Structure 1
């Protein structure tokens, strides 16, 4: 919170100090404080009259200050010399470890900003310093590990002045980031003969549209390079001979991310350096990937013209492959079958030509996500070695595949599957057969499956299920023929089930049947009831035996009018009760709520708000609860 100084003399922790008429504070008042704590933000420095006033703050002698954000206002500075003088006089103590300068309006920085005497500064951020034509010699800060330069719109050339003395620059710098440098055109080496950034591990360039030429060619410790929105930038190899390209000292480079209109010349690094991670996004002019040697992780996103993988295929060492919004890309099983090390595969909004996905093609696959593949019709099992190849799969997620009708006949030979999630598959009629044989399954989430007719016809749900969620599956409604199906689910026998979520279209009758026939397992600890349109009351019989239930969420049940008071009294472990968007619910049970309850939340329930917000009518029924929240008001028991 902003602090008004007034007569404060011994404040030990000051986080934010606003200078200006609105606070009645002047920068000079900081001189009165001998202890500021570790962090200080001074805002609206444009209201400082001159450097003399700033000098009175006496930041130079506040030895305990570790972090000094200095920020001017959003308006452009009208006096560059005055602004520079103010910043000069705000020189902090030598113990400073992090410095942020925002909206500085000077055309140059004061000398102290790159002084090697600041030998403890580890992080430096220069943000929106629009009018500076050059940077201070930050390379002289011996402990600097992270440097962030954002939105310096008048800087055109970055040269030797940044590094300072030759052979001594950026001895500790590990991360360097430039972002939104609208006019930056050239990055010139210091010419010292050695690396300008000898320990740099991560370089990020984002939205530098005019930066052309080359990156620094000698980055011996660089591990991660990320380039986004630098449309004319290319690496050395794009304009030089192959021998020059291979002479780039990027031998430690493991990860490359290029995004949003960058030149494909950067891709030559793929053929010359042993990368392990590659992330390519928002490329509009690439049809085929270049050959990749030792890659382990590949992400392809928003590449509308990409048609194929490299001619020599993907490397067999690949363990992670993520593809999204690459609709023209051909998913060729015979090409991908060589990925014998693949563990994680995600396909989203991609591979429009794919009609069937061959489960079991990847022998070590552990996680499979298929999303928004609109033309996918089936999941198929290859004949030879399918059981062995699916033995490692533990996560399977299928979503947004409107033409998918069935899982493979006979069920899934996935003994280690722990999570199965199926969303938004309009034509899907059933879950995998023999689902009860998936003894490792712990999480089963099904949502927005309007044509799903059955989930466990032959043996019930998996016996070790812990988390079960079912929403908007209207064809599963209770009827004379399907009431028995709920018994066949075997919910009562699921002694490990802790979390149950039931809601959405068609779920009113499901919940009513489960409660009436007492089919819920006694082990439940968290119960979500949400978006039921016709339910007027919860059947107390089915709730009363949930004696270890800790949290009950009732969410957006518009027609709910009553809660079973006697049944709730039996919930002796209930600690949290959430009632959200239930406008028809007028009162809580007269019998009161369980004495174990420690938190009650009521939100967007007009009837309950009128009854309990004045803390008079019926308040005695809930006054024993330590914490009550009604809309945005929190009431703590005295």
Structure 2
């Protein structure tokens, strides 16, 4: 057995010696000869391939008798080659002339070629094994070839595979990588993304000295620690789950050169907080996005002191750009967040940290653009400490999002000047106890959304796009608003009060009013006065949406409206009429408005291109006279009719390109004689027509497409 062990080492030793000799002494023989330089380069690559085979054989000689026999046969070739190599080295000092040098070079070349020839068939044979393994993987994964960019296809032959530099096995059902991959000694890029069945990486990867880029996105590989032995390897792995049963756990990340983004979940499984420091996140400058996640279950024991120690030991590199902290149960955030140790941070999410009682001085982060704070129920007040200073606070912040802050009562900001100079988007959602004032901003916001803040009685910052939902006490300035959405309980009454005091506004282009009508008394709306929507108050309005307004009776205007393009009226049971003076209207949606007067002859806007009528049988009946020869209507959607046959005679204009029929419970037949008269029709959509008889085959040969 000892002899057999030496044999493998003898092969490797001879290869190493030959390469060293080529580099240190024989190179002089080939100097100045381009042809010979190329031969020398090729020879080195062959010798390196031999070294890989020899190393692999040394490892397998004890379990594979055929490998052991092969090594014994290789012994004689090694000894003969070494004798000749010694003889040549002795003759080299005597080679003073060109002819002698050429003779020495010839001897070197012939001896090493003889040795290489012994191995070449073995190398090709081993390469074919790699091909077979990859072909098996591809077959099992329903692949026809390797991924694009791999540089070679399955079955392309060993000649190409030897030079393979990029291999993509992503989205395959691979469970194990073959050990023979070690022979892909030129491989530089390996992609194993979304290989859900792959649980471990083979140790043979450590032999791929040229491997410089490995992708492990969305995998569940456990033994990633072995990658730390490849010093030049860049690793993309977006998920690491800390397992309480693993010996190495979080320490596995220590020596890995991680690039891009990483989520570390299961941090509650770290039993010894000092192990977190061995992840060495602070020494990973190419890790630019990080998520720290504790997955507390109902049976988990949440130790706030351990959680605080763990997160303290997970300090990222100062180069980090995006950070999320989820379900941290400590009473405060780590010192490295308090002490402004992340100067390059541009995005921060603090979520589900129930026990945290105060926020870090985030206003000091110079490049922070996006800040989201969600479900921090320990926060009662946000004070000046949050801003960090009385000037230049949040100087780069563009988006600020507060949501589900159930105990938050007050935002103290008056001691801070010149805060939020670049803020564009402010969202405050589900903060039911919030009272007091909101910050005054010098520059109007692009978006301000306030939702479910019933106690908030404040004046909203100026905004271009304003949404106020379930916060009826919030006031706003009409002057800067271009898009306005008002929604909530009894919002109709609030809007009625507004329109009695306002004067025409030239800024608003989009308006939506949505009343959810949850009155304590079911019939209270019967005592509210009927009212008319004054369209002329909004001369620049382009889109108008009116939803669930129980007392709206009319939409009127004093002159032709030249801007309105889109009108939606839904569930307004008392509306009776809408003005006809809107020639620019292009889209009309009407649903469940039973009192609305039928269209008059020629009463539809001349530029109308799309119309939807839902639960409006009377309006559908009036289309015949109203449409006339209207050449502009292209799309018609009809919803919830009781017709048994559709369409009706002379109902549809010839200009239609799209016709959609939804929710016709009694429809049994389509009149294709009338449909075929629509020469421009390209698409017919049928949805939820349970009684419709099967369509004849010749229908599908028509010029329009039928969708179900």
TM-score bracket, shorter-length normalisation = 0.5 to 0.7
Structure 2: gaps of 5 or more residues:
1-218, 229-233, 518-524
Partner of 2:280: 58
Unaligned segments of structure 1, at least 5 residues: 237-247, 474-503, 531-638
- Please state how far the C-alpha of 1:88 moved relative to its aligned partner: 1.5
Larger radius of gyration: 2
1:524-603 equivalent positions in 2, closer than 5 A? 528=707
Please give the TM-score of this superposition, normalised by the length of structure 2: 0.60
Question: Which residue of structure 2 aligns with residue 567 of structure 1?
Answer: none
SS of the residue corresponding to residue 325 of structure 2 reads strand
Report which stretch shifted further, 306-315 or 149-158: 306-315
Say if 2:553 and 2:576, in contact at 8 Å, map to a contact too. no
Map 1:224-239 to 2 at 5 A: 224-236=447-459
Q: Indicate which of 289, 300, 322 corresponds to 2:545.
A: 322
CA distance in 1, matches of 2:646, 2:559: 29
Q: Report the Cα offset of residue 94 of structure 1.
A: 1.7
**1:398 to 2:613 alignment:** yes
Label 1:303 to 1:79 Cα distance change in 2 as closer, same or farther (>3 A).
Answer: closer
Distance 2:672 2:583 in 1: 28
TM-score under structure 1 length normalisation: 0.66
Distance 1:275 1:319 in 2: 13
| Mapping of residues 394-473 of structure 1, within 5 Å | 394-401=609-616, 404=619, 406-410=621-625, 412=627, 413-426=629-642, 431=647, 434=650, 437-439=653-655, 441-449=656-664, 450=666, 460-471=676-687
1:372 aligns with 592
Higher mean C-alpha deviation, range 106-115 or range 211-220: 106-115
Deviations 1:244-288 (A, max 9, x none): xxxx8x45x21211112x133x23433xx3311111112236514
Q: Which residue of 2 aligns with 1:113?
A: 337
- How many residue pairs were aligned? 464
2:509 aligned residue: 296
Q: CA deviation at 1:329?
A: 3.2
Cα 1:468–1:366 shift into 2, 3 Å: same
Cα deviations by residue, 1:341-390 (Å, 9 ceiling, x for unpaired): 211111222x20135666x44221111111233x156531266xx4xx62
| 2:472 and 2:494 in contact (8 A); partners too | no
CA distance in 2, matches of 1:168, 1:288: 38
Assess if the C-alpha contact under 8 Å between 2:535 and 2:556 holds in 1: no
The answer as to 2:420 corresponding to 1:197 is yes
Alignment equivalent of 2:468, drawn from 233, 258, 262: 258
Counterpart in the other structure of 2:47: none
> Could you give the per-residue CA deviations for residues 64-118 of structure 1, whole angstroms, max 9, x where no partner exists?
1111100112247643333222111111112212111000011111222155452
Q: Secondary structure at the match of 1:152?
A: coil
Structure 2 residue 551 is matched with structure 1 residue 343: no
Residue matched to 2:211: none
Q: Deviation at 1:172?
A: 1.0
Equivalent-residue separation in structure 2 for 1:257 and 1:70 (angstroms): 32
For 1:284 and 1:317, the matched residues in 2 are separated by 26
Does structure 2 retain, via aligned residues, the 8 Å contact 1:280–1:300? Answer: yes
Q: Does 1:155 align with 2:379?
A: yes
Partner of 1:363: 583
Distance in 2, matches of 1:310 and 1:399, equals 22
> Do structure 1's residue 284 and structure 2's residue 490 form an aligned pair?
yes
1:274 is the counterpart of 2:480: yes
| Residue 352 (1) aligns with residue 573 (2) | yes
Q: 1:137 to 1:213 in 2, by over 3 A?
A: same
Aligned counterparts of 2:646 and 2:581: Cα–Cα separation in 1: 23
Paired residues of 1:198 and 1:221 also in contact (CA < 8 A) = no
Decide whether aligned partners of structure 1 residues 258 and 104 sit closer, same or farther in structure 2, where only a CA change above 3 A counts: same
Following TM superposition, by how much is the alpha carbon of 1:320 offset from its aligned partner in structure 2, in angstroms?
0.6
Find the aligned partners of 2:376 and 2:296 in 1 and give their Cα distance.
Answer: 14
Q: CA deviation at 1:296?
A: 1.2
1:505 maps to which of 673, 691, 694: 691
State whether residues 170 and 197 of structure 1, in contact with CA within 8 Å, keep that contact through their aligned partners in structure 2: yes
Aligned-partner Cα distance in 2 for 1:422–1:190: 55
State the secondary structure of the residue aligned to 2:310. helix
Change (3 A) 1:165 1:332: same
The corresponding residue for 1:186 is: 410
| 1:340 to 1:431, Cα distance in 2 relative to 1, 3 A | farther
Q: Answer whether contact 1:434 1:456 (CA < 8 A) is retained.
A: no
Query: Following the alignment from structure 1 to structure 2, what is the Cα–Cα distance between the partners of residues 201 and 278?
Result: 16
Indicate the residue corresponding to 1:141 in structure 2.
365
User: Structure 2: how far apart are the matches of 1:415 and 1:23?
Assistant: 72
> Secondary structure, in 3 states, of the residue corresponding to 1:345?
strand
Measured in 1, the distance between the counterparts of 2:583 and 2:634 equals 18
Write the mapping of 1:91-102 to structure 2, written as runs, cut at 5 A: 91-102=315-326
CA 1:431–1:205 in 2, change beyond 3 Å: closer, same or farther? same
The more displaced of 302-311 and 93-102 is: 302-311
Q: How far 1:464 sits from its partner (Å)?
A: 2.1
Shift in alpha-carbon separation, 1:9–1:353, aligned structure 2, 3 A: same
User: Is residue 2:707 matched to residue 1:521?
Assistant: no
Counterpart-to-counterpart distance in 2, 1:320 and 1:362: 12
1:334 positional shift: 3.1
Identify which of 259, 268, 288 aligns with 1:37. 259
When residues 466 and 110 of structure 1 are mapped into structure 2, their CA distance, relative to the original with a 3 A threshold, is same
In structure 2, the CA distance between the partners of 1:275 and 1:16, relative to structure 1 (3 Å rule), is same
Change (3 A) 1:335 1:329: farther
The alpha-carbon distance between structure 1 residues 86 and 171, as it changes in their structure 2 partners (threshold 3 A), is: same
Distance 1:53 1:472, change over 3 A: closer
Question: How far did 1:17 drift?
Answer: 1.1
Does residue 1:83 correspond to 2:299, yes or no?
no
Are 1:381 and 2:600 an aligned pair? yes
Paired residue for 2:138? none
What is the alpha-carbon distance in structure 2 between the residues aligned to residue 105 and residue 411 of structure 1? 65
CA distance in 2 between counterparts of 1:430 and 1:234 reads: 53
Q: Is the 8 A contact 1:303 1:325 kept in 2?
A: yes
